[in-house]
Amino acid sequence: MKIFKVDLYKEFNIERPEGARGYLNCYIKELPESIGANRKLPSILVIAGGAYTNVSTRETEPVALQFLANNYNAFVIEYSCAPNKYPLAFKETSMAMCYIRKNADVLHVNENCVCTVGFSAGGHLNGCLSNLFESPILDFLGEDKPLVRPNATLYLYPVVTCYEEKGAHTSSFEMLCGNDEKLKESLSIENCVTKNSPPAFICSTREDTCVPIKNTLLLANAYEEKGIPFALHIFAKGPHGGSVATKSVYNEQDYPIMQKRFSTDFTLWPSLALNWLKDLGFDSEN
């Protein structure tokens, strides 16, 4: 495995805004010559949560390693958070997608099998990436703009709606948009899904009291209304922010407690997602 970090602003020759992050951590699978060292693999861009105030490390490398173990290349975006506002994180995540596809040969990436996974507020950012890829905001990418759209997208307990009566995680929208109510409505993901949106895998827990299950149901309904293929998994038990819910994201003292709080099958969501992706043609065995 090769691990390295890319400065996206330097890569795209763009001046870094004050306080911006915009780094991409790359986990590249190394294959022996005997099975094809130049084989191109499916890849995933991991977008952690953190309510747009930080990037949660619990949803970064532990997730990347799960997919790496299944013959995926994995990429983790360190995006800008508050006090930086929209569209900075959206631009950075779009640059990450362009970088992955533009360097597909060097990175051994199958450019037609690049998916994304977003958690909580990262799920919202993933929703922007997966549904607003035609936005004029991304015109700065020039001829690279068509590279932004994922081939498939995964949402884990995502922040979706800005409307309080529908279960909004209001602090995420405030960190992203300030007091701009019109901007919040335009970034309410159930309003953004189009007929061109990529297929979606959507997963959450019914007991999530931080980002209510209404967000997940609104998102699934939006995909259904637009006729976009999707898979929906709602586990009965589990608090918000489970990530992969293994020992890799909890300390020894907390793990036995958290293990009991989640549905037994919750830790299977990566396998469910991988099978769903395989049905879409993301076959890491090719």
Please say whether the dihedral angle defined by the alpha carbons of residues 63, 146, 22 and 168, taken in this order, is positive or negative: negative
Q: Which two tokens stand for residue 281?
A: 């043609």
Mean pLDDT of successive 10-residue segments in the chain (286 residues)?
Answer: 97 96 96 73 98 97 97 97 98 98 96 98 98 98 98 98 96 98 98 98 97 98 98 97 92 90 96 98 73
Q: How far apart, in whole angstroms, are the C-alpha atoms of residue 11 and residue 75?
A: 15
Which residues pair with residue 201 across a beta bridge? 154, 231
Cα distance between residue 194 and residue 213, in whole Å: 22
Domains of the chain: 2-279 (3.40.50.1820)
Instruction: Determine the pLDDT at residue 270.
Output: 98
Predicted TM-score (pTM) of the model is 0.96
**What is the pLDDT, as a whole number, of residue 285?**
56
Whole-number pLDDT of residue 36: 65
Residue 214: predicted pLDDT: 97
The verdict on whether omega for the bond into residue 87 sits within 30 degrees of 0, i.e. cis, is yes
| Alpha helices per DSSP H over the chain | 8-11, 61-68, 88-102, 104-107, 121-131, 170-177, 181-186, 213-226, 255-261, 269-279
Tell me the pairing of strands 73-78 and 23-28: antiparallel
